[in-house]
Amino acid sequence: MKPTKHFVYFSSKASTSGKALSQGNLMKAGRIDIAIHSLIQGVFLSHDFREDVKFHFIFNGMPDPPKHIEIQIVEDTPISKRDVAKIIQKLLYKYKPGTKNEVFPGCFIEKKSFFHVLEELEEEGCELFTLDKKGELLREVEIEKTPVFILGDQEGLPKKELKKLKQMATPISVGPKMYFASQVVAVVNNELDYREI
């Protein structure tokens, strides 16, 4: 299998409460629906999975931010496109202070900030890219190490985070329009497929 690539999806408002998701309104829970669409584009294929993609969510919404959720599909991950919301809800319910809890095979939750997660990936030797409409064209960017693609939710990455990201990540653009987060993930995966990364 090819080396694992990473997507890191940051949302300032995505709820950190399992209960908020149980009310069945993913939009009201800080647009968890957008997070789910992005994950689907990140790790699902038609009748298959992208087992070489690790998808990270950083949820910074109330009541207990930050939460780092990590999902990589492995043999026994009990996931289908229909029940991603339930998986995320269960992960939020099963958060245990002080540990990185593997709630389902390949699915973890812990309390860890956005930059802490990125710093750890850097220490592992990964190369960071911020998905940004004004960045260098993805098609022209050389990817030399294991890539990490960082993206925002419906509100985009906050200014404070973007400022710090400038020092550690290369901004790259997938095209001249402002796309949905999920569309951006699909385009990046497609480019990696062509390059066989």
Size of the site for ligand SAM (CB under 6 A): 18
Q: Are 3 and 52 in contact (CB under 8 A)?
A: yes
Q: Are 161 and 171 in contact (CB under 8 A)?
A: no
DSSP assignments along 40-73, one per residue: HHHHEETTEE-TTEEEEEEE--SSS--EEEEE--
157 binds ligand SAM (CB under 6 A): yes
131 binds ligand SAM (CB under 6 A): yes
Q: Whose Cβ is closer to ligand SAM: residue 124's or residue 155's?
A: 155
CB of 149 to ligand SAM, least distance (A): 9
154 binds ligand SAM (CB under 6 A): yes
Among 133, 168, 191, 197, binds ligand SAM (CB under 6 A): 133
Among 41, 60, 89, 173, binds ligand SAM (CB under 6 A): 173
148 binds ligand SAM (CB under 6 A): no
Other beta carbons within 10 angstroms of residue 176's beta carbon come to: 9
Q: How far is 181 from 26, CA to CA, in rounded Å? A: 16
Other beta carbons within 10 angstroms of residue 125's beta carbon come to: 8
Q: Whose Cβ is closer to ligand SAM: residue 92's or residue 165's?
A: 165
Contact positions toward ligand SAM, by CB under 6 A?
131-133, 151-152, 154-157, 173-175, 177-181, 184
